[in-house]
Amino acid sequence: MSKLAALDQLLEQYQQLSYHTDPILEKRLHEAQDWLKMRIEKTHHALFNQKENQLMAKYFINRLYGGPEFDDLAIQIERLLKYAHKAEKILPENAIKTGLKSVGLAVLAMQLDEQVAAQLLKDYPADQVIDDEMMRLTLLKLDQAEARQQQLGLLDDLGGALDKYMRSFIMHTAFKMCKGTAIKYKFELMYDFIGEGFIAMKPMKSAADFIHAFTLKERDIVEKVHAGDPNPFQD
């Protein structure tokens, strides 16, 4: 079986999302994601602003929490799957494994956030600016606690994979050597998606430690939301 078979399943899950054929839902989804990203940046301001963490924080916000950028990447993933045999020869196996974890997280984020956007459209006017109270009530109503905890668990797994695989000098060298081939076969977005993980890792002592600090606070927020805390997003 192809090492990229799981990527095919993730792409299918992504393509089944309703916002692809619903422009009103798509707009609300992107607004919900913008609110989430701003909330994350505010919550983790101290962690994200540490010099060694800044690149990883950017990777988190732009890559692992979905958004319009993923649409372009998904198109390239579809192309990549048509040439899976070539891609598997180009990319180191451990880079593929880590890339799959990252793509899986992005797809899960899109699924959960689309649920949030759909609920917002049911309960509020489509043009109402999203605020903390709207989001608190929406998250409480949806009861995504288990799914959000799963998302955070997958993030912790990614941290371990980044430390285990992406710190290898040999693998990084092999990965850099295949850039020309990736461009030749038009896999550059997927290459960059994985490559940014390497770059973000470089200044850090441990990606797992950074991610654990992040997920610890996020788990606390999930618990506060579902316990009925009136201000779950405040420190």
The count of structural domains within the chain is 1
Q: Is residue 191 part of a domain?
A: yes
Per-residue pLDDT at 90 = 65
Q: Is residue 179 part of a domain?
A: yes
Per-residue pLDDT at 18 = 97
Q: Is residue 233 part of a domain?
A: no
**Residues 164, 168, 169: CA angle, nearest 5 degrees:** 170
Burial grade of 126 (CB within 10 A; 0-12, 13-18, 19 or more): exposed
Q: Is residue 23 part of a domain?
A: no
Q: Is residue 234 part of a domain?
A: no
CA within 13 Å, CB half, 128: 14
For residue 104, which phi and psi values (nearest 5 degrees)? -60, -40
Q: Is residue 17 part of a domain?
A: no
Q: Are 190 and 175 in contact (CB under 8 A)?
A: no
Burial 178-217 (b: 16+ CB within 10 A, else e): beeebeeeebebbbbbbbbbbebbeebeebbebbebbbee
Q: Is residue 20 part of a domain?
A: no
Q: Is residue 112 part of a domain?
A: yes
User: Could you tell me the residue range of the domain that residue 59 belongs to?
Assistant: 5-12+32-226
Q: Per-residue confidence of the chain (235 residues) as pLDDT tens digits?
A: 466 677 788 889 999 999 999 999 999 999 999 999 999 999 999 999 999 999 989 888 887 776 667 777 777 777 667 666 666 666 667 777 777 888 888 899 999 999 999 999 999 999 999 999 999 999 999 999 999 999 999 999 988 888 887 666 666 677 777 778 777 767 677 778 777 877 888 888 888 999 999 999 999 999 999 999 999 998 7
- 8, two tokens: 């095919």
